[in-house]
Amino acid sequence: MMPTPSHSSFLSSPPPWLCELPKKDPWSRPFAESLLTHLDLYEGASILDVACGDGIPAFHLAHRVGPGGRVVGIDVNHAQLLRSRAVQGPYFPWLEFRHGDVRQLPPDLGQFDRITGNLSFMFFRPQRQETLQQLARFLKPGGQLVLTFPSLGTFDSLWKRVDREMVHQGFTKERERLADYITERPSAADARQWLETCGLEKIDVAEYPLEVHTGSGHEFLFHPLLRGGFLDDVYECFTDQTLADQFMETISLDIKSFVPLFAQRCVMSAWRPGVSPPST
């Protein structure tokens, strides 16, 4: 009878693509790169990754902390968790994907050396301050919190073009609704204030522009980085979706008036007061 390989040896060599940030992800990867620039990461660390989605950068974090560490990814979307677990397969047994809402985390999670969240902060709405305060309680004394989000100013040239067109076409109520959407988006200044209110220290909030390229017409209207969560905000301002389609068609044929188009990658980093474990 052939000997069965040990559990640890079987899991010791995950495929390289699982350890790295995906090269073909034009949205999550740049934000994750910004997160990792600010994250003080070391082997053996315990990490809570909130709104983990498809595992970017949870898989990379698990690779970096190694089998002596612990990574827990939390997300409210069951389908995304199923995909993450399927991709994980037998690798990184110290990485666990759990279902949960970042606004109401289960108390049995314990505390972590690091808490991360890539493109997560927008999901803290509507009570961002309270959610951030609750999240900080899961951070060990001396631990670090690093979150990324597209901050106020993202695609600003587009919103100005939409606003001008709404004025031109007399869409008063729709314009007021769009202004409410944009005002609700957090800014870098908001993030700094909320971190200070949480009693965290060594606060660092930085923004990095990310240019998004698009063509006109259908390419713009169904661009994967624009439609979900951004262009949809304009459509939601209209009660008549046929009218919304006509309006957005006008915008899509005039992209020369608002390109280059930039997103603002905002990274917020802060530390809980106390003594940090030694980095190795």
- Quick: pLDDT tens for 103-141: 888 888 999 999 999 998 877 777 888 889 999 999 999
Full set of structural domains in the chain with CATH: 21-151+186-212+263-273 (3.40.50.150), 153-185+217-253 (no CATH)
Average pLDDT score over the chain = 90
Query: Cβ(48)–Cβ(74) under 8 Å?
Result: yes
pLDDT for 4 equals 39
Query: Which strand ranges, in their side-by-side order, compose the sheet holding 261-271?
Result: 95-99, 70-75, 46-50, 112-117, 139-150, 261-271, 201-212
pLDDT for 25 equals 87
Predicted TM-score of the model (pTM): 0.88
pLDDT for 24 equals 83
Residues of the chain under the 70 pLDDT cut: 1-12, 276-280
The count of other CB atoms within 10 Å of the CB of residue 59 is: 27
| Cross-strand pairs, 60 | none
The secondary element (H helix, E strand) that includes residue 233 is helix 232-235
